[in-house]
Chains A and B, each alone.
Chain A
Amino acid sequence: MVVVCRALASLVGFVLLAALAIAGLAVAAFSLGGDDGGWSLAGLARLIGLPELSDTVGDLLDGFQADGGVDVVAALSGIGALLLAVALLVGALVARRERLLVFSRDSEGSLSARRRALAHAVEALAEQPRDVSAARAKLRPHRRRSGGRLRLRFDHARTADGDKLEGTVRDRIASLVEATSLRVRVRDRVPRRGGRVR
């Protein structure tokens, strides 16, 4: 969710900066002229239709203040704008958290590894047996204490013995994960279609 908010904030920030730069350039250029001629700030306002926009917005705001029932479209738009603002604030202000798996932490120091790097290493080790066609590892570090959960799923040929292969895969990744306080869960799967075994 935060990733989406960050992407949205980046996109909106980029678009707004570009718009602000263009607007600033236009205002600066039209400021060179004087009086009420075409090449002036008043001329720029007329050129982009500010008086008409003011009238339109005025009518819209008058409509909001008018007596009667709640305008559903306007209410939903307002709620949407609020949600968008909250998402942009989250995207802009929430810092990206480094997802580290902490192996151990004591007075001597700590040992940690980036989650994705370790998951890729586990996948590479799990794919070493000949009958394994693909492996996918998901690592979830504990938020406060050391260790975490590792879920490893590997694809294998229909003819291969899944249980035996699971033992082999566990042996392969053991050296990398045995020192960690990881809870390892390994599942095997036979791909339905299109799976290839090296």
Chain B
Amino acid sequence: MIPAASQTSTERVRLARLAEATLIASARVVATAGPDGRWVTADAGRPIDGVVAVAEPSGRVEIGLHADAVWPVDSLEALAEHLREQFRNAAAAAGLGGALGSIAVCFHDMVEPVAYPEPA
């Protein structure tokens, strides 16, 4: 069942959620809200870190993805294009492809990969 909040969400917030999911799904980036929480989108009181969604006058939504790249990085351009493609596909699958405007990708830092302990 779809939560009530999702039913009333704007396309902007729904796209921001998809962008967040895209960043989380990629093991090669980590979303960042910035030191003073500048790069977030508010979603019913919950901040969506690393995503800035702006509604353009044309009706489309411009998305900014802010992330730290996980070291080692071969090519930032290839990584950005990968993220864009994943996000476009997710938006199209959700029926929001028409509402999607430009996608800006900004890398703010290089971070070490996080090693998660293996489940016992």
Query: Which residues of chain A have C-beta atoms less than 8 A from B108's C-beta?
Result: 113-114, 117
When the two chains form their complex, are residues B110 and A109 in contact, meaning their CB atoms are under 8 A apart?
no
* Complex contact A113–B77 (CB within 8 A): no
Min C-beta distance of A110 to chain B, whole Å: 5
Number of A residues near B (Cβ < 8 Å) is 21
A118 to B75, CA, bound (A): 11
- A110, B109: Cβ atoms under 8 Å? no
The answer on a CB contact under 8 Å between A176 and B73 is yes
Contact B77 A103 (CB under 8 A): yes
Complex interface: chain A residues within 8 A of B104 (CB):
109-112
Task: Name the CB-closest residue of A to B109.
Answer: A117
- CB<8 Å pairs between A and B, sample of 27: A100-B106, A103-B80, A108-B84, A108-B102, A109-B62, A109-B103, A110-B102, A110-B106, A111-B104, A111-B105, A112-B105, A113-B106, A113-B108, A114-B107, A114-B108, A114-B109, A117-B69, A117-B108, A117-B110, A118-B76, A118-B107, A124-B71, A124-B110, A176-B73, A176-B75, A179-B78, A180-B77
Chain B positions within 8 Å of A120 at CB level:
110
Of residues 43 through 87 on chain B, the ones whose CB sits less than 8 Å from some CB of chain A are: 62-63, 68-69, 71, 73-78, 80, 84
Interface residues of A in 32-83 (CB under 8 A from B): none
Closest CB-CB distance, A141 to chain B, in whole Å? 13
With A112-B107, A124-B110, A176-B74 known, 20 other A-B pairs at CB within 8 A are A103-B80, A108-B84, A108-B102, A108-B103, A109-B104, A110-B106, A111-B77, A112-B105, A113-B107, A113-B108, A114-B107, A117-B69, A117-B107, A117-B108, A120-B110, A121-B110, A175-B74, A176-B75, A179-B76, A179-B78
Interface of B with A (CB < 8 Å)?
62-63, 68-69, 71, 73-78, 80, 84, 102-110
Whole-angstrom distance from the CB of A31 to the nearest CB of chain B? 38
In the complex where A107-B102, A109-B104 touch, is A175 in contact with B110 (Cβ < 8 A)? no
Distance A110 CA – B76 CA, assembled complex (angstroms):
12
Q: B63: nearest residue on chain A (CB-CB)? A: A109
Q: Is the interface of B mostly helix, strand, loop or mixed?
A: strand
Q: For residue B102, which residues in chain A have a CB less than 8 angstroms away from its CB?
A: 107-110
Complexed CA–CA distance, A108 and B103 (Å): 6
Decide if A179 touches B77 in the complex (CB within 8 Å). Answer: yes
A104 within 8 A of B: yes
Q: Are B84 and A110 in contact (CB under 8 A)?
A: no
Q: Cβ of A103: which chain B residues have Cβ within 8 Å of it?
A: 76-77, 80
- Give Cα A110–Cα B109 distance, bound, in whole angstroms: 17
Q: A117-B108, A120-B110 are in contact. Are A111 and B80 (CB under 8 A)?
A: yes
| Nearest Cβ on chain A to B105's Cβ, whole angstroms | 5
Beta-carbon contact of B80 and A121 below 8 Å: no
CB-nearest residue of chain A to B38:
A98
Q: Choose among B62, B76, B84 the residue that contacts A113 (Cβ–Cβ < 8 A).
A: B76
* Contact residues in A for B68 (Cβ distance below 8 Å): 117
Complex alpha-carbon distance, A108 and B109, angstroms: 23
